[in-house]
Structure formats: C-alpha cells, structure tokens
A and B are shown apart, each in its own frame.
Chain A
Amino acid sequence: MAATDTTAPESPAGLLDRLTGNRRLRPVVQVLLPAAVLVVALLLIPFVFTRVHPYTMADGVQLVLLATAALGLVPLTGYAGQVSLGQAAFYGTGAYATAILTVTFHQSPLLGLLVGAVAAGLLAWLLGRALFRAAGHYLTLATIAVGLVLGVVVKQLGITGGAEGLSGLPPLSFGGVQILGDVNFFYVAAGVLVVASLVVQRMCRSQLGTTLLAISDSPVAAQSGGVDPAPQKRFAFVVAAVCSAVAGSLYALWSGFVDASTLDLNLSLQLLIIATVGGRRSVFGATVGAFVVVSLARIAKEWLPDVSSHAGGQVEIIAYGLALILVLRLLPRGIIGALAAWLNRLSASKSAE
C-alpha cells in the first residue's frame, strides 16, 4: 500500500500561502477553508438531487451516510495501509444497537447512537487484540470473516428479530423535536458528516497520522525506532468502526427498519471503493467518493438494463469495479489526491514565474 504513495498530502495551507502570501492566516485557513468547501458542496445536494432526474433525496441521505462510514477508512487504509472489508460489521452493529435500544427497550434514539458507537468501538478493539499477530492479507480476510459471521448470527437471534429484522424505529429527535422527511434528515446527517470529517482530519494531522504513515511505510524500521505498531493500528481500527457505527445508527433511524442486509459484504466493498475513488488520504475523499459511487449506481441502473434484454441483477457493480480499477491504475491517490497534486503543480509553476 505504502510503496505506491510516498508523499504526504499537500496541505491547503501551504498552497494558500503561495496564493495569498499571508502566513498569519494559516491556522484559520487550515481548518475553515476545507470545511467551508465541504459545507458548500453538501448544501448543493438538496438543490441538485431534488431537481435532476434520476436522483432523489434518499440518494442524498445515503450519500452522506456512506461518506460518514467511509471516513473511518482514511486513518485505517489511507494512513495505516490496512485494507478492511469488514466495515459493514460495524455499520450493522450501530444499526442493530440503535434498533434494539429504541424498539425493544424504548430508549431515546440518541442513546441508541451512543451505545452503537461504543459497542462497535469495543468490538473493533477486541478484534484488534485477538488478531494482533495477523497482518496484511490475513487481516483483510479476518475483517471479511467478521462481517459474514455477524450476518449469520443476527439472522438467528431473537433479540435482533431473526431474519425478519427489527422494524418500527422512532424517528431521530432532539429534545422532543422529531426530524421527519428526507430533506430534514439530510441536513442533520450532513452536519454529522462535516463534524466527523473535521475530527478525523485533526486526528490524521496529529502525531497519530505520522506514526501510522511510518508504520505502513516500513513496519520494521518503525519497530526498530521504538514504535509498537499494534496499538496504533488498533486505534485506527477503532476509529473506523466508530465512524461506520454512527452512520449505521443514523441509517436505522432514517429507514425505520433494520435487518441483516446492513451487514452485507457489498456494503463493505462499496465503502472501500468510495474511499479509494475519492482519495484514501483525505477526509474529503469520502464525500467525493460517495458522490461518485451513488451517481454511478443511479446512472448504471437507468441505462444498463437497456443494453441487453436479459439484463438483471446488480448491474451497477460493473461501474463500481471499473471505477475502482481505473482509479487504482490511473489516479492512485484518488480524485482529491489528484486534485491536490494538480493544484500543487499549478502554484509551483506560478511561483517559478
């Protein structure tokens, strides 16, 4: 993973320095500008998705939820270099925890969200400890196995509603005010996405990020430098789990229904593709990647069935697969990474003039 991408991502602050020549603005700009761009982009979604066929606001909600879940892959896959195909396990944990707490125990949705995040984090931490000797492909396979085993287990247990799942979840509410309707829910979920993006970004900019990069570049060198890679990678794993769990809880509250499909391998694949296409080293890659994946799915579903009279099935996975292959071969840093590199070159040539 590390061998293909050895440069650290260009900081927008450095970029802006060259444009504005004002170093005192750096801290403010470093945080506010990217956040502002993200907020603007998200605000465009209700505008566009309710007017352009075939998008719907349901797509918009799924976009921000998927982006939130994919955020966790930035420290885990982007920085620590670990491919995880088990994020759906944590998404489902969040969804089921919220469902059980609200439907069976009649607690508030927010408590459900909290419990879901804690449960997922705990599960990730335990798995990290149990699997600490596995690495690379083996750990990837372990992540797949976890998701699949959980998928089977929830279909058998009574408390998770068996194969029928749990339905009748109450809508999300803050202090008595219910969030009804796709557009309103979108604003709440988008807000969560923005906050989560900033938090994860802060984490990756800190010592943790540098350490994870060092570990993925050369584990042996890091170890001889006195750094124990395991706890750091475990922490990244926990962060990824929490992001997915929060997204899963929100999904449960939006759809009012939870079943084993929240643990599906396809979801894990989608998240990996989102992170890769958008850019594994940037939190904004998650949003961009989610937009690309949701759009591809919509367009493929509208157009591909007309190609052949026999067509059926999840034809949009052709688009996912092609996007993944093309990005990995041509734009290995993802869309955001490529954009950052391009802006870099642009300002470098400007200052040379």
Chain B
Amino acid sequence: MSALLQYVATGVTVGSAYALVGLGIALIAQVTGVVNFAQGQFVMLAGLLFAVLEEHDVPAAPAALAALAATVLVGLLLERLVLPRKAAGRTDQAIMLTIGASIVIEGLAFVAVGTEPHFASPFTAGGALHFGGASIDRQYLWVVGIALVIMVTLWLLLTRTRLGWAMRATAMDADAARLSGISPSRMSLLVFVAAAALGAIGGIVLAPLQSPDASVGIGLGLKGFAAAVIGGLDRPAGAVAGGLAVGIVEALASGYLPSSQSGYADGIAYAVLLVALIVRPTGLLRRVAGERV
C-alpha cells in the first residue's frame, strides 16, 4: 500500500510538470490555432537560468524574477518574429516554425551553458516528508501548490475578466471577435506571453528537484503535447488532467513492471498516447463536435 502511495505521489508531482506544459500548449492552440512545440523550452530556459544564477550566488527571488523575465521575452520574440502575422499563414506550417524555434532555443542554451546539469537549492530547507510509508521531497509541495495557484488564477482570468473573455471569444471565432473590436493579433501576443510565464514559473519551481540541463526541453514539450492531446486540445482543463494522467501512469508502470521489463516504463506515456489516438483521435475528453463544411 505504501508503495502505491509513493508511486501516485511521484506521479502527481511529475505529472504537474507535464500538466503545466500541456496547459500552455492548449491555451495557445485554442486562442491562435498554433501548436507551440517550444512550450517545453520555456520550462527548460527558466529553470536553467534560475539554477545558473543561483550557482553564481544570486539570491532566489531576483534569480527567479530574472529567469521569468527572460523567458517571457523569448516567448514574445517567438510570437512576433517567428510566426507569420496573418492568420492565413498560420496553418500546419506553424507547428514546424515552433519546432524550429524550439531547437534554436535549445541550441542557444547549449552554446551559452553547455550540457552540464545545474543545481538550484530548494525553496524551503528541510528533509523529505513522510506519510503513509511514502516519502516526497519538500519541494514537491511547492510544485503542486504553485501549479494549483496557476490553474486557479488562469481560470479566474479566463472567466471573470474582460481580457479572458476577449481571449475566449478569439478562440471561438477570430473573425467575429475582430468585428467586436478585439484584436486577434493582440490576443495572440498576450496568450504567448501568458504561456511563457506559465512555463517559466513551472520551470523555476521544478529546478531544485530536477537539476535542469539544456536538453530537457524537447522531452517536456513532447509529454506536454501528449497531455494536451489526451485531454483534448480545446480544453485547458483537459490538458491538466492529461498531464497528471501521464505522470501517474508512468510512475505506476515503473513501479509495477517486473524488474526485467522496467526499461519499458520509459515508453509507456507514448504507448498510452498511441492507444488514445487510435481509439479516440480527437482527444479523450473532447466533446464530439461536428465539423462545419
């Protein structure tokens, strides 16, 4: 029983990382129709910067702010410079542009910092917490806590503010939104900035746990993409559920597969994704909608 608890605890915390990436991807996809492959790089960039700054004896708070600011700037540059202005240009081609941006960011990190992992100190000191036979690092509580805060904030933003309302309008029908005086171009910029900030915060809070290095972005991006797809690209809540599901399934697989097969756990997330795509190709949680012709 305590083993199961441990696996679920690990799964939830690892899954929170996937959920944050998936959330960013789903948000951008909804408002702009673009699948942002570089979302995982936002997490990597902020985490790496935070850790490197801390290693150079910058205190935690300024380091975090600097990392956040830099990552948001990168998100802004991505939206303005890399993606085409007109919506018509943003078709399936846009995914390739974000792939290109993703590897440019990774490459720049390689040039600036190399491949070594960097270490950040946990936000609060103290050993691991133990409950019911499972033990988790204290920092995990920060991860889950901050993830919850982000999600609640986002929900409030989208449902209770004019800005959120404008974003949702753009997501539903960009042309109609434009007619109502909303600028889809401005919405696009804002949602990229928001997603970058979201990813950055996730990266910063995860850094003490996962000693980031320049190469973690692509894997995170893929798992986040999987989370968003499993949950249905049109529902941010779905992405969160998807991310947690992927994390838990991975942990359970690592835990319950017999030793000789433990290597398979690495691919379980993608195997599940494949099955999901075969069975329900538009996402497990998506409302089945007809397509207007």
Say if the two chains contact directly (CB < 8 Å).
yes
- Nearest residue in B to A132 (C-beta to C-beta)? B281
- Which of B103, B114, B278 sits near A312, CB closer than 8 Å? B114
A136 interfacial contact with B, CB 8 Å: yes
Q: Which residues of B contact A276 (CB under 8 A)?
A: 96
B124 interfacial contact with A, CB 8 Å: no
A325 interfacial contact with B, CB 8 Å: yes
- Nearest residue in A to B262 (C-beta to C-beta)? A156
Q: Identify which of A54-62, A99-107, A144-152, A200-208 touches chain B.
A: A144-152
B75-96 CB contacts (< 8 Å) to partner A? 82, 84, 88-89, 91-93, 95-96
A4 interfacial contact with B, CB 8 Å: yes
Number of A-B residue pairs with CB-CB distance less than 8 Å in the complex they form: 154
A307 interfacial contact with B, CB 8 Å: yes
CA–CA, A139 and B92, complex, Å: 12
Q: Identify which of A31-39, A165-173, A178-186, A314-322 touches chain B.
A: A314-322
CA–CA, A322 and B96, complex, Å: 12
A130 interfacial contact with B, CB 8 Å: yes
Say how far B25's CB is from chain A's closest CB, in angstroms.
10
Q: Which residues of B contact A53 (CB under 8 A)?
A: none
Q: Which residues of A contact B96 (CB under 8 A)?
A: 83, 272, 276, 324, 328
Interface size class of A (residues with CB under 8 A): 35 or more
B267/A152 in contact, CB under 8 A: yes
- Nearest residue in B to A325 (C-beta to C-beta)? B100
- Which of B110, B215, B270, B281 sits near A145, CB closer than 8 Å? B270
CA–CA, A110 and B214, complex, Å: 41
A329 interfacial contact with B, CB 8 Å: yes
Q: Which residues of A contact B282 (CB under 8 A)?
A: 138
- Nearest residue in A to B94 (C-beta to C-beta)? A328
A81 interfacial contact with B, CB 8 Å: yes
Q: Which residues of B contact A315 (CB under 8 A)?
A: 107, 110-111
Contact A321-B104, Cβ < 8 Å, known A145-B274, A152-B264, A313-B114: yes
Q: Which residues of A contact B114 (CB under 8 A)?
A: 310-313
A269/B95 in contact, CB under 8 A: no
- Which of A133, A140, A152, A265 sits near B263, CB closer than 8 Å? A152
Contact A312-B110, Cβ < 8 Å, known A137-B35, A156-B264, A328-B93: yes
Instruction: Give the residue among B105, B218, B270 with the most A Cβ atoms within 10 A.
Output: B270
Q: Which residues of A contact B180 (CB under 8 A)?
A: none
Q: Identify which of B9-17, B63-71, B194-202, B222-230 touches chain A.
A: B222-230
A341 interfacial contact with B, CB 8 Å: no
CA–CA, A92 and B166, complex, Å: 47
Say how far B81's CB is from chain A's closest CB, in angstroms.
9
B281/A134 in contact, CB under 8 A: yes
A83/B104 in contact, CB under 8 A: no
B97/A325 in contact, CB under 8 A: yes
A141 interfacial contact with B, CB 8 Å: yes
B110/A138 in contact, CB under 8 A: no
CA–CA, A130 and B275, complex, Å: 9
Contact A321-B100, Cβ < 8 Å, known A134-B277, A313-B114, A316-B107: yes
Count of residues in B whose CB is under 8 Å from the partner chain: 51
- Which of B93, B102, B277, B293 sits near A141, CB closer than 8 Å? B277
B111/A318 in contact, CB under 8 A: yes
B97/A328 in contact, CB under 8 A: yes
Say how far A159's CB is from chain B's closest CB, in angstroms.
15
Instruction: Give the residue among A130, A134, A313, A315 with the most B Cβ atoms within 10 A.
Output: A313
CA–CA, A130 and B279, complex, Å: 9
CA–CA, A317 and B100, complex, Å: 9
Q: Which residues of B contact A145 (CB under 8 A)?
A: 226, 270-271, 273-274, 277
CA–CA, A265 and B189, complex, Å: 30
Instruction: Give the residue among B97, B113, B114, B214 with the most A Cβ atoms within 10 A.
Output: B114
Q: Which residues of A contact B35 (CB under 8 A)?
A: 137
Say how far A198's CB is from chain B's closest CB, in angstroms.
27
CA–CA, A172 and B88, complex, Å: 49
B99/A313 in contact, CB under 8 A: no
CA–CA, A314 and B104, complex, Å: 11
B163 interfacial contact with A, CB 8 Å: no
A222 interfacial contact with B, CB 8 Å: no
Say how far B243's CB is from chain A's closest CB, in angstroms.
15
Q: Provide 17 A-B residue pairs closer than 8 Å at the C-beta atoms, listed in order of the A residue.
A: A3-B88, A4-B89, A131-B277, A134-B277, A134-B278, A137-B35, A137-B233, A138-B229, A142-B273, A272-B96, A273-B100, A308-B111, A311-B110, A313-B214, A318-B104, A320-B103, A322-B104
What 4 pairs across the A-B complex have the smallest Cβ distances?
Answer: A152-B267, A318-B107, A313-B110, A321-B104
Chain A interface residues toward B at CB < 8 A:
1-4, 81, 83, 130-131, 133-142, 144-146, 148-149, 151-153, 155-156, 220, 265, 269, 272-273, 276, 304, 307-308, 310-325, 328-329, 332
> Apart from A131-B278, A149-B270, A313-B110, what 17 extra A-B contacts exist at CB < 8 Å?
A83-B96, A137-B35, A138-B281, A139-B277, A144-B270, A145-B274, A149-B274, A152-B263, A155-B263, A304-B111, A310-B111, A313-B109, A317-B103, A321-B99, A321-B104, A324-B100, A325-B101
